[in-house]
Amino acid sequence: MFGSSALEVATGVIFIFLSLSLVCTAANELIASLVSWRAKNLAQGIRNLLNYKDNAALLKGFYNHPLIQSLYRDSTKLPSYIPSRTFALALLDMLVPAGSPDRNTIDGIREAVKKAGDRNAIDKQVGDTLLILIDEADNTIKEAGVSAQTALSKVQENVETWFNDSMERVAGWYKRRTQALTFALALVFSVALNVDSIMITRRLSSDSALRASLTAMAEKAAQQPATAAPGGQPEPAEARIQSAFQALVERNRTLEGLGIPLGWTDSRNWPGWVWTWDWVPKVFGLLLTAGAASLGAPFWFDMLNKIVTIRSTGKAPEEKQKSPKEVPTPTEAGQTPKEARESKEVLKETRKE
């Protein structure tokens, strides 16, 4: 059956990878909050989008817009998230201020963008991009035959799409950074705590009590729903730092409470580094743990659910035997279907007698 000791060992190892991944995730979040990675990454993305690379004044002007400034408290802590609608409204308001008659028509918006480019309020490349978006909005309005009063809203929709497409690339930058940091953290925690995959696998194979304990905890963890990604407005910086630190302490306490041999104080964890080649599997085991933990908690949570499902799968319940398919009795010549059914019933009663 699937409830073998080998499968229990695999369950325990996967659960350990999941626990270490959660520790790395919490540490990653804490570091990202402390150094304001998200805010800096977003600022870099907006700088590239608006081509403000060599003009800090224009970027500062954008962040000083009331709609953007309302998302943060001071210039030292920039927002880590800007809704696409807020970005579009702020940018268009900088180019076509509220109350301007140019806001009412496509031609007016187009002329306002050109004037902004002439006075170097925006980069020429950005101005050309906005003109393309304005032309696209104009074509959409003409094809749909809607009122020209929707001109600004159509341009705004196109600017929002432009912003969202750019933020997808920005999210890719941030993801690559966090992946590199997660692997570095996984390597540090693996070495510091001596989370050696090879050593732990051997210990679980020989210790049935530890194996059963880890399996029970893994099954309990698999029943808990996965934590959903945060949505909407993120927490303030101070709250994110505090919650990340608390999560790191809690995850580390959970890892230490698994009962597996951690640390370097146990003499059994010390191989003969000098006189033997035991350091080779030790290094390989630590690297294996670091690589596994860097895959992330969602990956190992999914794996844990799958293997727990396999373990809990026993013999399939026996299906109720179905009666053989009945073949309709052919009707005789001149016999109606109703008369054929009546003849069939009479035949059944005769067989019973």
Q: How many CB atoms lie within 10 A of CB 341?
A: 13
Interatomic CA distance for residues 208 and 5, integer angstroms? 8
pLDDT of residue 77: 75
Contacts of 208 (CB under 8 A, 6+ apart): 5
pLDDT band at 291 (very low <50, low <70, confident <90, very high): very high
pLDDT tens digit sequence for 123-137: 888 888 999 998 888
Interatomic CA distance for residues 185 and 118, integer angstroms? 49
pLDDT of residue 187: 93
Reading the block at residue 97, the tokens are: 């201020």
pLDDT tens digit sequence for 83-104: 999 999 999 888 888 878 888 7
The pTM of the full predicted model, rounded to 2 decimals, is 0.68
pLDDT of residue 8: 86
What is the average pLDDT across 267-273? 53
pLDDT tens digit sequence for 112-169: 888 888 887 788 888 889 999 988 888 887 776 665 557 788 889 999 999 999 999 8
Question: 20 vs 224, which has greater pLDDT?
Answer: 20
Query: What DSSP line would sit under 269-333, residue for residue?
Result: G---TTTSSTHHHHHHHHHHHHHHHTT-HHHHHHHHHHHHHHHH--SPPPPPPPPPPPPPPPPPT
What is the average pLDDT across 187-211? 88
Question: 278 vs 339, which has greater pLDDT?
Answer: 278
pLDDT of residue 1: 39
Answer yes or no: are the C-beta atoms of 213 and 259 closer than 8 Å: yes
Interatomic CA distance for residues 68 and 53, integer angstroms? 19
Residue type, 139: N
